[in-house]
Structure 1
């Protein structure tokens, strides 16, 4: 077994993924050298992915709809955070952008990460 070191290239990343997949198929017993190696491989892979494969936050409206689905909410349930039912539908149908006040209320009342709710209006409502 090669010694572990930081992943710096795509080839090293692919090799680490291949080795890790072998461990996934036959997960080693906790506390063994193989289990320690597997854990270290996963940390190296995660560090490489965080640096090279940035994941953009979800679209704000999709984040709201996802939370609604998760929590069994209806558009009417969003009224305390967004306003009247017509305003809720305008937001959900992308006819109107979220305001800072709406973002804050959605974040604090529904626990939607603020980063997911904040996006440039021109990125969302471009024709």
Structure 2
């Protein structure tokens, strides 16, 4: 397959088919096959950003996901959010996150800011 812009879904599907076998045995960099693979992956990535964008998760779902990932409890979140009753209000969507809470959750637990700010 030749390198060409991905303009529609058919081009996208063809590009995916062209590089799929290379993921199992990735070609060496600075070879014709490696250059083809790298350029096609960049084209695929750009097309996906425009046409298959994934929205960031809901802020509360992001917090709950991180809690599950790291085995955190409500008590662990108190340093970032406040007393346990405040944490429960946030997790139950009775109260909104404040900017200081967002900053602390990001700094202490590594939750991406994009996820905490929401849309």
What range is the shorter-chain TM-score in? 0.7 to 0.9
Displacement of 1:21: 1.1
Displacement of 1:19: 0.6
RMSD after superposition: 1.8
Partner of 1:39 in structure 2? 38
Partner of 2:21 in structure 1? 22
1:61 aligns with 2:54: no
Question: SS of 1:68's equivalent?
Answer: helix
Partner of 1:124 in structure 2? none
Displacement of 1:75: 0.9
1:51 aligns with 2:54: no
Runs of 4+ in 1 over 6 A off after TM superposition: none
Question: SS of 2:41's equivalent?
Answer: helix
How many Å separate the matches in 2 of 1:110 and 1:43? 31
Partner of 2:70 in structure 1? 71
Displacement of 1:24: 2.5
Uncovered stretches (5+) of structure 2, i.e. residues with no partner: none
Uncovered stretches (5+) of structure 1, i.e. residues with no partner: 121-127
Question: SS of 1:97's equivalent?
Answer: coil
Q: TM-score, normalization: structure 2?
A: 0.86
Partner of 1:9 in structure 2? 8
Q: Assess, with a 3 A threshold, how the Cα gap between structure 1 residues 110 and 26 changes in structure 2: closer, same or farther.
A: closer
